[in-house]
Amino acid sequence: MEGPAFHPYLSGRANLARLDAADRYSDPRTSRVRIDAALDRVGLLAVAEKRYRAYSLGMRQRLAIANSLLMPRDLLVLDEPTNGLDPQGTREVRHLISELASDGATVLVSSHLLAEVDQICSHVGVMYEGRLVAQGPLNELRASTTQTVRVDTDRTEDAARVLTELGLSEIASSSGYVTGTLGDVAIEKIVPNLVNACVPVLGFAVLRPSLEDVFVSLTGEGFDVSG
């Protein structure tokens, strides 16, 4: 079963009321207020009386999130929360998750949309074949993979020489720029060294590996992408 699931012939509000009624710990006196607050928070208050059947996938997804907001929670587990949402909806959900986190809740998002994870999460865990192969703060995980620097210059040969002297590996020159793998070299040393060697530095960038690169480096290529 994919995605959210509710009684199709009940309205969004009635569905939440049903789930709230099943909760032994919820206070019936505040039920209406809490349901409306949850619906409001996900932007469904205006369509609260519509049958769930008539909801779009994005609305359904948001109703599922509203359900988790009925009671204050310490931990929320969201499985693909932005699945089926339009760009605005995705943004709203992202905003909502950040809000929940800043309110003190721990939000565990399970997702394969790495760009999303990149934007939302402070910590990530990578699962592969049922095992947790890596976990930690996003930055640490990124740092554990190799970083590449790119120097834009019109004197690529000199730049390549300086970088080699500094101890960078896998130096590659192209027209207009040189790239190299950082290794243990301190980033702040690179530009002064280039300038001292009279290499005009037109641009400098540390190419942070994308989360996808990190993921692939941890789990392998899967299909042979190089063909």
Partner 1 sequence: MSAAEVLAVANQPRARVSTRFLRSELKIIFGRRRNIAGLGVLAAVPVILAISVRVSSGSQGAGPDFIIGITGNGLFVAFAALALELPLFLPLAVSAISGDAVAGEANLGTLRYLLAIPAGRTRLLVIKYAAIVIFALVATLLVALVGSIMGLALFGAGDMTLLSGTQTSLADGVWRLVLSSLYLAAGFAALGAIGLFVSTLTEQPIGATIAIVLVNVMMFILDSISQLDWLHPWLLTHWWTAFGDLLRDPIATESIQRGLITALVYAGVFWLAACARLSTKDISS
Interacting residues toward partner 1 by CB under 8 A: 1, 4-10, 17-19, 21-25, 27-28, 67, 74
Distances (CA, A) of 72 to 26, 79, 122: 10, 19, 21
Please report, in angstroms and rounded to a whole number, the separation of the first and last CA atoms in the chain: 33
Report the number of secondary-structure helices (H) and strands (E) in the chain.
Answer: 9, 8
- In the bound complex, what is the minimum distance in angstroms from residue 141's beta carbon to partner 1? 27
- Residue 39 has a CB neighbour count (10 Å cut-off) of 22
- In the bound complex, what is the minimum distance in angstroms from residue 125's beta carbon to partner 1? 21
- In the bound complex, what is the minimum distance in angstroms from residue 37's beta carbon to partner 1? 17
- Which residue, 110, 14, 120, 22, is CA-closest to 66? 14
Q: What are phi and psi of 36, to 5 degrees?
A: -65, -40
| Residue 8 or 176 having the CB closest to partner 1 | 8
- In the bound complex, what is the minimum distance in angstroms from residue 71's beta carbon to partner 1? 9
- In the bound complex, what is the minimum distance in angstroms from residue 14's beta carbon to partner 1? 8
- Which residue, 18, 24, 30, is CA-closest to 67? 18
| Residue 23 or 165 having the CB closest to partner 1 | 23
| Residue 71 or 195 having the CB closest to partner 1 | 71
| Residue 21 or 195 having the CB closest to partner 1 | 21
| Residue 27 or 103 having the CB closest to partner 1 | 27
d(CA 216, CA 112): 12
